[in-house]
Amino acid sequence: GAGVSQSPRYKVAKRGQDVALRCDPISGHVSLFWYQQALGQGPEFLTYFQNEAQLDKSGLPSDRFFAERPEGSVSTLKIQRTQQEDSAVYLCASSLDLGGRGYTFGSGTRLTVV
Amino acid sequence: KQEVTQIPAALSVPEGENLVLNCSFTDSAIYNLQWFRQDPGKGLTSLLLIQSSQREQTSGRLNASLDKSSGRSTLYIAASQPGDSATYLCAAQSNTGNQFYFGTGTSLTVIP
């Protein structure tokens, strides 16, 4: 597609509910990243894929967070047993290569846990 | 861990003024540095990317400089316009080539 597509745009979850956030990167982009952006803050790195391989998941805040990219294209970020502190905008980005060429962000999914 | 700081946190200027946004980072071993723009409720748009071997990049009214040794970058916006109003984020890409470390941004308002 023309850009990085994320769905849903908005998600309200009750505390304890599981959620799944989807990212559809630009076709042909090898690298895919997930970031978490709390209100008034800059994005913070969660995890990184090169094709289907998850090469870095050091930013995932707890074992309730899980990401996958099984076929090297679409990625899903899953959060189990959501907590209020999980409320944030979740941004996905993809790039052509490791050098950051064509680094493109999606519009994000705003998650609110009530 | 890389720490990125942006000053000022917010800036309000009249239309037509030239302005400078500042970014500093603690670890000079970076792969590159990017400036992004974020509009409310939207994702990030890449404005300028400076490779670690470069000193500056220019695009239209925007000029970004990089001084790795001092851990500083500046974004210069010439002849500001109301449409420039947005949050500007500086991000340093790690030497491993994957994650970016972001500052908290400068919220810019250009008054017509």
At A75 the pLDDT is 98
At B13 the pLDDT is 97
* Phi, then psi, of B54 in degrees rounded to 5: -100, 160
At A97 the pLDDT is 77
User: Of the ranges A67-81, A90-104, B52-66, which one carries the lowest mean pLDDT score?
Assistant: A90-104
**A48 interfaces chain B, CB cutoff of 8 Å:** yes
Evaluate whether B19 touches B108 at the Cβ level (below 8 Å).
Answer: yes
Average pLDDT, chain A: 93
A:17-36 residues touching chain B, CB 8 A cutoff: 31, 33, 35
Facing B105 at nearest CB: one of A31, A42, A45: A42
Q: How many CB pairs under 8 A join A and B?
A: 61
- Amino acid in position A19: V
d(CA A10, CA A101): 29
CA A34 to chain centre: 3
Average pLDDT, chain B: 93
Does residue A1 register a pLDDT over 60? no
At B42 the pLDDT is 82
d(CA A103, CA A4): 10
**A10 interfaces chain B, CB cutoff of 8 Å:** no
> In sequence order, which residues have a C-beta less than 8 Å from that of residue A62 and are 6 or more positions away?
none
pLDDT over 70 percentage in chain A: 96
The pLDDT tens digits for A11-65 are 999 999 999 999 999 998 999 999 999 998 999 999 999 999 999 999 999 999 9
Does residue A100 register a pLDDT over 70? no
Residue of B41 and B112 predicted with greater confidence = B112
* Phi, then psi, of B3 in degrees rounded to 5: -120, 130
Does residue A99 register a pLDDT over 90? no
User: Of the ranges A10-24, B53-67, B95-109, which one carries the lowest mean pLDDT score?
Assistant: B95-109
B:73-102 residues touching chain A, CB 8 A cutoff: 89, 91, 93, 96-102
Cβ–Cβ below 8 Å for A105 and B45: yes
Cα–Cα distances in Å, from A89 out to A6, A10, A106, B11, B92? 11, 9, 11, 24, 20
Q: Is B84 helix (H, G, I), strand (E, B) or coil?
A: helix
Facing B34 at nearest CB: one of A45, A56, A100: A100
At B40 the pLDDT is 86
At A5 the pLDDT is 96
Does residue B96 register a pLDDT over 80? no
* Separation in Å, CA of B41 to nearest CA in chain A: 7
Confidence of residue B71 (pLDDT cuts 50, 70, 90): very high
Facing A48 at nearest CB: one of B4, B91, B99: B99
Q: What is the mean pLDDT of residues B58-63?
A: 97
At A98 the pLDDT is 66
At B31 the pLDDT is 87
d(CA A30, CA A52): 9
**B105 interfaces chain A, CB cutoff of 8 Å:** yes
> In sequence order, which residues have a C-beta less than 8 Å from that of residue B50 and are 6 or more positions away?
B32, B33, B34, B56, B57, B64, B65, B66, B73
Cα–Cα distances in Å, from A100 out to A97, B17, B84? 6, 31, 24
Provide, as residue numbers in chain A, all residues whose Cβ is less than 8 Å from the Cβ of B32: 99-100
Q: What is the mean pLDDT of residues B3-10?
A: 95
* Phi, then psi, of A11 in degrees rounded to 5: -145, 125
| 3-state percent breakdown (helix, strand, coil) of chain A, nearest 5 | 5, 50, 50
